[in-house]
């Protein structure tokens, strides 16, 4: 097969009119994806424009649904620089079927450009194909090159659902792994062998599949040989898994940063694409730059009005909006981030935000339309309120009321509404929301995300882990000791051996042992299945402390240990309200039993004094105040008596 | 007060060479000769070249005398402050640094004595300065061992360790560091990680060269946290991982809190504190290290690790027999090629006595005696070595005071200090241990000749 791209050789492109998925419900039932209007012009026009600019001479348009619509549209268009041939098949239900069918027809002769029906791209496809051919010279098994667009970090982008994980060899850009990131999985598994067998592995999550594929002739037979390849994802996965057997490899190319591409894979993406066109990111596929979108008047803040459109007095086109041929807005109507197709009549005092109004619609006075899509030939009676709805073609709303989150259709003069959340229980169907609101949502998400990173990294931490293990071990030992009335010396031995096992320093031992003893009544009571009150807690605590007195004495000997002991008490008290209420009893008990010295308690209390900003610690301080007062008075008394 | 210095240098030379015990029994690792110069010379020379005036050299207590003698002989301009530590065998690299922390008062550079490289350290320091990093590490391409290269000693199936090093494509930050042996079949990476770094490269053929530039606060943190024993294995991965944590909202710096509380989750942020001016500069500057999202510069991270990849430079760590021998084989090629203005390793010392005429690509050190009718090829001959006549030696290393008697054939061997090879011995791909005597007429191939090896009766 000739791989050299001579000047005379004809460049072929295959466009699949359908994408065989139902992401844009209910648009698929109305027209094929390729005829989806984007700023009032079918997607196909943009695609053909790009193909002509890239000097592609032959276009095969494969259609399976709505064939008549496509046939009629092409007849009407009559493109000059490109020959468009239709391949029609009714039985086809997937991308795999379509490519197998094309293979049997045998009209594709060399390397070709495969474009899925929902693709929108402005790059020079021939240049991309030439790069693929050079790759093919190096590697005879290069079956396909994917065209990926770098859209940067997915953080805060409305395209987050579409992000995919691409693992590839850095030098050759050979894809090793490709899949769409699933939101529900917190972790992604990567094979160790990839890293060991390649010097440098690139891992990307910033890419968006443009739905444009540069294919070698071997792609079609591959589909024919493998009947289980239904979707492009199947094909990629299958080829990557059986790389050796099939002797085929998939590569990727990055779209130049100035080029643009975005497949309409969801309403969200559709929304994004329209906004980008109005903001002229997609140049030259923008109003006034292409023949089928001309005679627009460009107004500030990305708003456009066709020459033949009429704006009445007091109308405001706020931003990112376009008003197409022969449409009329009447008095005091507000339009924000909205595309209004041709021959629409919008009454006065209407508010339209973040919506798509296709052609030939009539909206009467005082309506409010937010976050909605209104297909062509609809009629909306005055005072209707529509939020988050999709109106099928020829829907007529006579009864003014409020509609939310539904697909509205009129059959035999009756209106049937289906709630979107019912049709789509898995919430895969996302109608766009206002971008700004979405951004706020994302911020919330990222915050929780980072905290989860923290936790994830913390559990790898040897130090913290060991100490918490040590603490739980100590609690276990003590609880068992208390229940079975074991000797304290044996328990000390047990604690010391856990101490060596977890490599815990002495001060931490003291700290944790005290913590364990203080929380013991809670564990004990919860095991006895009693409801825990402060009185129960105190009673048990007294038992526990009397019982474990030798252990406490063993660990709290030095002044430093006393500090640690006090910190442990503070820590537990600030988290358990039961202890807080009897804190002064506890301190008194420790003071009486000579575990804690008067000076140390006072010192601790004063050091605590400074942190008035911390509420938790404040609580502790307040709780012990009477005891401290008593202590200070006692001190004064004793010093006075000494003076006497 | 100390005079102002931007960086201090610390050379870690206390290691016992646990991965090359055949050679380090009876000899000190940091003084093993490479191209007739002790290993320690190379890192010191590297530091001297970029203008370091002083370096702290950490050694084991037992080697103190030998090291200072050896350093005196080397005539380096750099002033060395030799610090001997006790029980060096039990100490990790982080432990050694912790022991001498009082001597370090600013950001510092840590280099291992077994690093042989010609990377320009300035570049690494610049990378460190540019981002005010926490740690900047030097990553070198793992040395390629030629196919025909045979390591002396028995065949060793041990595979070299593979480090997995993840570097962000956009910012150059070091974001992932682990050893491949830590994983079984798969590596799990969390989604938030992928989100934060939408495009990064995982290197598996790079080697962590154990040259780090470390911020002073990391040292303070290390001093407080006694759990870390090694830099490469524990501290660095920990700091790299910590880049993802966020500092606590408000940290009350309370000097009275006892040590126990520093174990809490955010303890590292007691040390990693951005100076108010730095923060202000970062916020006011138009500079951003990445442009694919709208986050702050460095994502607002205070802890930042970077890796400098020394592409196209040679470099290896002579910490195994294979690497040690490779270093000796390649050193003339590497060191003399582009460093003409630098002090090159002398080829034949003036005090050596050489009678033979058949010498090819050899280095002969002071007071060595080479008699007549000897063929020497690609061999390093240490000081006070005696080679008697009618002997052939190729691709070998002869350390100090080795004695080779007549009619020996020695090929691709490492002969340790003070060993004696008796007459007519044939050695191929062998290692001869410290002060070993190889009896006359014996023939060995691919063996280690030391005391420990009872099978060989000497």
Provide the CATH number for the domain around residue A501.
1.25.40.180
Total domains in chain B come to 2
Please give the share of chain B, as a percent, with pLDDT higher than 90: 16
Give me the helices (H) in B151-224, please.
191-196, 216-224
- pLDDT tens for A273-319 read 998 999 998 888 989 888 888 889 998 888 999 999 989 988 988 88
A170 CB neighbours in chain B (<8 A) are 201
Minimal-distance CA residue of chain A relative to B180 = A192
| CB nearest to A203's CB, from B202, B225, B294 | B202
Say if B164 is an interface residue toward chain A (CB within 8 Å): yes
Distance (Å) from the alpha carbon of A617 to chain B's nearest alpha carbon: 12
Q: Percentage of chain B surpassing pLDDT 70?
A: 90
Q: Which domain holds residue A381?
A: 295-423
- Residue in B189, B252, B263 nearest the CB of A190: B189
Identify whether B159 is part of a domain.
yes
- Examine the domain organization and report whether B84 and B132 are in the same domain: yes
Q: Provide the pLDDT confidence category of residue A161 given band limits of 50, 70 and 90.
A: low
Chain B residues lying within 8 Å of A507, measured CB to CB = 258-260
What is the Cα–Cα distance from A269 to A431, expressed in whole angstroms? 10
Number of domains chain A is built from: 3
CB-based contact A593:A551 (threshold 8 Å): no
CA distance B171 to chain A (A): 13
Interface with B, mutate which of A203, A515, A607 (most B CBs under 10 A): A203
Residue A484 is predicted with a pLDDT of 81
Q: Tell whether the model's pLDDT for residue B454 goes beyond 90.
A: no
Same domain, B320 and B352: no
pLDDT of residue B44 exceeding 50: yes
Residue A105's pLDDT is what?
A: 86
Calpha distance A249→A254 (Å, rounded): 17
The CATH number covering residue A140 comes to 3.90.550.10
pLDDT, position B28:
87
User: Phi-psi region for residue B183, left (φ > 0), alpha (ψ -120 to 50) or beta?
Assistant: beta
Same-domain pairing of A312 and A373: yes
Most B CBs within 10 Å, among A150, A152, A153, A611, to test the B interface: A153
Structure tokens at A442: 């994302």
Position A78 in a domain: yes
What does the alpha-carbon distance between residue B306 and residue B139 come to, in Å, rounded to a whole number?
10
Q: Residue A280 has what DSSP assignment?
A: T
Q: How confident is the model at residue B88 (pLDDT cuts 50, 70, 90)?
A: confident
Nearest CA in chain A to B293: A153
Mean pLDDT, residues A191-199 taken together: 87
Average pLDDT over residues A397-413: 82
State the virtual CA torsion across A413, A417, A423, A429 in degrees, nearest 10: 100
pLDDT at residue number B167: 92
- Give the ipTM of the model, two decimals please: 0.81
B192 vs A453, A463, A611: nearest CB: A453
Q: pLDDT value at position A529?
A: 57
Same domain? B327 vs B350: no
Which residues, other chains included, contact B21 with Cβ-Cβ below 8 Å and sequence gap of 6+? none
pLDDT, tens digit, for every residue of B210-231? 999 999 999 999 988 888 888 8
Average pLDDT, chain A: 81
DSSP secondary-structure letter at A156? T
Residue ranges of A 125-154 with Cβ closer than 8 A to chain B: 150-154
Look at residue A448 and tell me if it is in a domain.
Answer: no
| Residue A188 banded pLDDT, cuts 50, 70, 90 | confident
Mutation pick from B183, B199, B311 vs chain A, by most beta carbons of A within 10 Å, is B199
**Among residues A443, A434, A445, A519, which one has the least CA distance to residue A482?**
A519
Whether A214 and A341 share a structural domain:
no
Give the containing element (helix H, strand E) for A220. Answer: helix A219-225
**Which pLDDT score is estimated for A158?**
64
- Of residues B103 and A480, the one with the higher pLDDT is B103
Q: Which of A59-63, A74-78, A533-537, B187-191 has the highest mean pLDDT?
A: A59-63
Residues B131 and B162 in one domain: yes
Task: Tell me: do A229 and A343 sit in the same domain.
Answer: no
Listed range (A154-168, B366-380, B384-398, B439-453) with the worst mean pLDDT: A154-168
Edge-to-edge order in the sheet of strand B353-354 = B353-354, B369-370, B386-387, B403-404, B420-421, B437-438
Tell me the pLDDT tens digit for each residue of A548-604: 888 888 888 888 888 888 888 888 877 777 777 778 888 888 888 888 888 888 888
pLDDT band (50, 70, 90) for residue A447:
very low
Q: Are residues A117 and A214 in the same domain?
A: yes
The reply to whether B173 touches chain A by the CB within 8 Å rule is: no
| B97 & B145 share domain | yes
Q: Are residues B192 and B265 in the same domain?
A: yes
Residues making up chain B, counted from first to last:
458
Tell me what percent of the residues of chain A surpass a pLDDT of 90: 18
Selected residue with higher pLDDT from A463 and A126: A126
Residue A628 φ then ψ, to 5°: -65, -40
Are B323 and B352 members of one domain?
A: no
Chain A residue at shortest CA distance from B242 = A457
Q: Is any Cβ of chain B less than 8 angstroms from the Cβ of A469?
A: no
Which domain-ending residue is among B297, B331, B365? B331
Residue A284 preceded by cis peptide, ω within 30 = yes
Same domain, A166 and A105: yes
What residue numbers bound the domain in which B135 lies?
8-251+258-331
Instruction: List CB contacts (< 8 A) between A150 and chain B.
Output: 199, 292
Per-residue pLDDT at A462: 39
A290 in any annotated domain:
no
| Coil, helix or strand at residue B456 | coil
Query: Are B260 and A508 an interchain contact pair (Cβ–Cβ within 8 Å)?
Result: yes
> Is the pLDDT higher at A523 or at A161?
A523
Chain B CB contacts of A196 under 8 Å are: 162, 180, 204
CATH of the domain at B356: 2.160.10.10
Residues of chain A found within 8 Å of residue B166, distances taken between Cβ atoms: 203
Which CATH number goes with the domain that contains B105? 3.90.550.10
B191, B195, B227 member nearest A153 (Cβ): B195
Optimal mutation site among A206, A467, A571, A574, interface B, most CBs of chain B within 10 A: A206
Q: Could you tell me if B306 and B128 are in contact, meaning their C-beta atoms sit under 8 angstroms apart?
A: yes
In angstroms, rounded to a whole number, what is the distance separating the alpha carbons of residues B256 and A606? 10
Question: What is the nearest CA distance from A348 to chain B, expressed in angstroms?
Answer: 40
φ/ψ of residue B177, rounded to 5 = -150, 120
Same domain, B267 and B403: no
> Residue B152 CB: number of other CB atoms within 10 A?
27
Q: In A, which residues are within 8 Å of B243 by CB distance?
A: none
Q: What does B322-353 look like in DSSP terms, one character per residue?
A: HHHHHHHHHHHHHHHHS-TTSPPPPSB-TT-E
- A472-514 pLDDT tens trace: 888 888 888 888 888 888 888 888 888 887 777 777 888 888 8
Residue B329 has pLDDT above 50, yes or no: yes
The CA distance from B252 to A564, in Å, is: 19
Q: Does B251 touch chain A (CB under 8 A)?
A: no
Are A518 and A629 found together in one domain? yes
Is A187 at the interface with chain B, CB within 8 A?
yes
Domain stop point among A356, A391, A423: A423
Q: Tell me if the bond preceding B128 is cis, omega within 30° of 0.
A: no
A189 CB within 8 Å of a chain B CB: yes
pLDDT over 90 (residue A339)? yes
Using CB atoms, which residue from B162, B188, B291 is nearest to A188? B188
Q: Which residue has the higher pLDDT, A495 or B125?
A: B125
Region label for A72, one of left (φ > 0), alpha (ψ between -120 and 50) or beta (otherwise): alpha
- Residue range A212-241: mean pLDDT, rounded: 90
Q: What is the tens place of the pLDDT at every residue in B359-395?
A: 888 888 888 888 888 888 888 888 889 988 888 998 8
Residue to test with chain A: of B161, B194, B237, B288, most A Cβ within 10 A: B194
Higher pLDDT, A286 or B159: A286
B180 and B33 in one domain? Answer: yes
Picking from A171, A187, A510 by the largest number of B CB atoms within 10 A of its own CB, the best residue to mutate is A187
The pLDDT-based confidence of B3 (bands split at 50, 70, 90) is low
Q: How many CA atoms lie within 13 A of B274 on its CB side?
A: 20
Q: Which two tokens stand for residue A107?
A: 């009209």
pLDDT at A56 over 50: yes
Residue B269 lies in a domain: yes
Together in a domain, B319 and B358: no
pLDDT bin (cut points 50, 70, 90) of residue A465 is low
Average pLDDT of chain B to the nearest whole number: 83
Residue A363 confidence (pLDDT): 92
A83 touches chain B (CB under 8 A): no
pLDDT of residue A175: 92
pLDDT of residue A613: 52
In a domain, A312, yes or no: yes
- Point out which residues pair with A311 in neighbouring strands: A329
Average pLDDT over residues A199-217: 90
Q: What is the pLDDT of residue A460?
A: 39
In 3-state terms, chain B is what percent helix, strand and coil (to 5)?
A: 25, 25, 45
Taking only the tens place, the pLDDT of each residue in B281-298 is 888 888 888 877 777 788
pLDDT of residue A94: 87
Q: In chain A, which residues have their Cβ closer than 8 Å to the Cβ of B261?
A: 567
Q: Which residues of B386-421 are buried (b: 16+ CB within 10 A; e: fewer)?
A: bbbebbbbbbbbbbbbbbbbbbbbbbbbbbbbbbbb
Task: Assess whether pLDDT exceeds 50 at residue B455.
Answer: no
**What pLDDT is stored for residue A144 in this prediction?**
92
Give the pLDDT of residue B109: 94
Q: Which of residues 65-124 of B touch A (CB under 8 A)?
A: none
- B339 in a structural domain: no
Residue B257: pLDDT over 50: no
Do A202 and A338 reside in the same domain of the chain? no
Reported confidence tier of residue A146, pLDDT bands at 50, 70, 90:
very high
Cα distance between residue A475 and residue A558, in whole Å: 23
| pLDDT tens track for A349-393 | 999 988 999 999 999 999 999 888 999 999 998 889 988 888 888
> What pLDDT is recorded for position B37?
86
Segment 178-197 of chain B within 8 Å of chain A by CB: 180, 183-196
In a domain, A269, yes or no: no
pLDDT of residue A456: 38
- Evaluate whether residue B3 is within a structural domain: no
Q: What is the pLDDT of residue A424?
A: 59
> Does residue A145 surpass a pLDDT of 90?
yes
């Amino acid at each position: 097969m000739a791989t050299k791209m001579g000047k005379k050789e004809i460049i072929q492109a295959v466009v699949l009119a359908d994408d065989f998925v139902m992401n844009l419900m209910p648009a698929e039932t109305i027209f094929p994806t390729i005829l989806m209007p984007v700023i009032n012009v079918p997607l196909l026009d943009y695609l053909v424009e790009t193909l002509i600019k890239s000097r592609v001479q032959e276009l095969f348009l494969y259609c399976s649904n709505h064939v008549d619509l496509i046939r009629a549209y092409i007849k009407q268009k009559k493109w000059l620089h490109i020959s468009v041939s239709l391949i029609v098949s009714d039985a086809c239900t997937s991308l795999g079927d379509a490519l197998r069918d094309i293979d049997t027809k045998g009209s594709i002769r060399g390397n070709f450009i495969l474009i899925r029906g929902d693709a929108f791209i402005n790059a020079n496809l021939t240049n991309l194909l030439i790069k693929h051919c050079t790759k093919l010279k190096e590697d005879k098994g290069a079956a396909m090159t994917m065209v990926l667009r770098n859209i940067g970090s997915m953080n805060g982008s409305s395209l987050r659902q579409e992000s995919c994980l691409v693992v590839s060899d850095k030098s050759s850009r050979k894809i090793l792994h490709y899949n769409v990131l699933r939101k529900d999985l917190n972790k992604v598994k990567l094979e160790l062998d990839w890293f060991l067998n390649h010097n440098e592995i690139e891992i990307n999550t910033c890419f968006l599949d443009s739905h444009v594929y540069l294919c070698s002739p071997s792609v079609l037979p591959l589909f024919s040989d493998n009947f289980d390849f239904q979707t492009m994802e199947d094909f990629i996965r299958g080829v990557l898994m059986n790389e050796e057997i099939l002797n085929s490899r998939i590569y990727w190319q990055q779209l130049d940063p100035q080029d643009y591409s975005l497949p309409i894979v969801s309403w969200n993406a559709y929304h994004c694409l329209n906004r980008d066109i109005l903001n002229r990111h997609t140049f030259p596929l923008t109003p006034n730059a292409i023949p089928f979108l001309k005679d627009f008047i460009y107004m500030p803040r990305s708003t456009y009005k066709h020459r033949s459109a009429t704006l009445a007095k007091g109308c405001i086109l706020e931003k990112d909006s376009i008003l197409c041929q022969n449409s009329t807005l009447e008095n005091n109507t507000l339009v924000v981030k909205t595309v209004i197709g041709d021959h629409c009549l919008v009454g006065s005092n209407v508010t339209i935000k973040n919506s798509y109004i296709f052609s030939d619609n009539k909206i009467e006075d005082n309506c409010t339309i937010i976050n909605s899509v209104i297909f062509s030939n609809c009629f909306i009676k005055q005072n209707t309120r529509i939020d988050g709805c999709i109106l099928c073609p020829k829907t007529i709303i006579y009864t003014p009321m409020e509609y939310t989150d539904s697909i509205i259709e009129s059959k035999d003069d009756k209106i049937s509404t289906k709630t979107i959340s019912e049709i789509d229980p898995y919430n895969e169907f996302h109608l766009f929301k206002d971008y700004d609101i979405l951004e706020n949502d994302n911020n919330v998400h990222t915050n929780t995300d980072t905290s989860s990173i923290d936790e994830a990294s913390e559990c790898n931490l040897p130090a913290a882990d060991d100490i918490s293990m040590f603490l739980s071990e100590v609690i276990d030992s003590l609880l068992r000791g208390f229940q079975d009335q074991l000797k304290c010396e044996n328990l000390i031995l047990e604690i010391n051996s856990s101490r060596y096992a977890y490599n815990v320093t002495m001060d931490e031992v003291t700290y944790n042992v005290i913590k364990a003893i203080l929380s013991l009544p809670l564990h004990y009571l919860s095991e006895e299945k009693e409801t825990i009150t402060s009185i129960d807690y105190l009673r048990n605590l007294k038992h526990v402390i009397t019982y474990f007195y030798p252990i406490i004495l063993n660990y709290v000997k030095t002044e430093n240990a006393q500090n640690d002991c006090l910190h442990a008490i503070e820590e537990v008290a600030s988290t358990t309200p039961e202890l807080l209420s009897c804190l002064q009893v506890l301190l008194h008990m420790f003071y009486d039993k000579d575990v804690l010295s008067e000076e140390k308690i006072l010192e601790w209390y004063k050091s605590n004094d400074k942190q008035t900003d911390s509420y938790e610690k404040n609580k502790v301080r307040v709780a012990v105040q009477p005891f401290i007062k008593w202590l200070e008075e006692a001190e004064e008394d004793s010093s006075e008596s000494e003076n006497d | 007060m100390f005079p102002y210095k931007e960086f201090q240098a610390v050379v870690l030379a206390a290691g016992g060479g646990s991965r090359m015990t055949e050679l380090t029994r009876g000899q000190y690792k940091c003084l093993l000769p490479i191209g007739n110069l002790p290993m320690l010379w190379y890192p010191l020379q590297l530091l001297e070249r970029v203008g370091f005036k002083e370096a702290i050299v950490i050694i084991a207590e037992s080697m103190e005398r030998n090291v200072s003698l050896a350093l005196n002989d080397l005539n380096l301009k750099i002033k060395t402050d030799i610090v001997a530590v006790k029980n060096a065998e039990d100490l990790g690299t982080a432990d050694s640094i912790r022991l001498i922390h009082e001597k370090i008062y600013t950001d510092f550079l840590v280099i291992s004595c077994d690093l042989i490289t010609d990377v320009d350290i300035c570049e690494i320091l610049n990378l460190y300065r540019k981002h005010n990093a926490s740690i900047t590490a030097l990553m070198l391409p793992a040395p390629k061992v030629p196919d025909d290269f045979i390591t002396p000693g028995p065949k060793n199936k041990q595979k070299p360790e593979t480090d997995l090093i993840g570097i962000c494509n956009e910012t150059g930050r070091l974001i992932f560091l682990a050893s491949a042996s830590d994983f079984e079949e798969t590596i799990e990476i969390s989604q938030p990680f992928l989100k934060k770094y939408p495009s990064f490269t995982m290197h598996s053929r790079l080697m962590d060269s154990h040259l780090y530039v470390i911020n002073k606060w990391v040292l303070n943190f290390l001093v407080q946290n006694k759990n870390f024993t090694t830099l490469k294995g524990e501290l660095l991965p920990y700091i790299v991982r910590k880049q993802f944590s966020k500092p606590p909202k408000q940290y009350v710096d309370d000097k009275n809190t006892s040590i126990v509380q520093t174990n809490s989750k955010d303890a590292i942020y007691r040390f990693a504190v951005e100076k108010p001016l730095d923060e202000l500069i970062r916020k006011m500057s138009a500079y951003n290290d990445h442009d694919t999202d709208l986050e702050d510069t460095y994502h607002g991270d205070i802890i930042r690790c970077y890796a400098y990849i020394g592409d196209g430079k040679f470099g290896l760590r002579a910490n195994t027999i294979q690497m040690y021998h490779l270093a000796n084989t390649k050193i003339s090629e590497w060191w003399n090629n582009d460093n003409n203005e630098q002090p090159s390793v002398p080829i034949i010392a003036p005090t050596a006595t050489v009678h033979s005429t058949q010498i090819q690509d050899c280095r002969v050190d002071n007071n060595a005696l080479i008699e007549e009718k000897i063929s020497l090829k690609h061999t390093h001959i240490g000081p006070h070595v005696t080679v008697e006549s009618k002997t052939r030696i190729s691709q070998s290393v002869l350390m100090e005071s080795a004695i080779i008697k007549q009619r020996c054939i020695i090929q691709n061997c490492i002969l340790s200090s003070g060993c004696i090879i008796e007459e007519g011995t044939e050695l191929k791909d062998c290692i001869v241990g410290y002060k070993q005597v190889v009896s006359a007429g014996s023939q060995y191939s691919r063996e280690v000749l030391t005391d420990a090896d009872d099978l060989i009766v000497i």
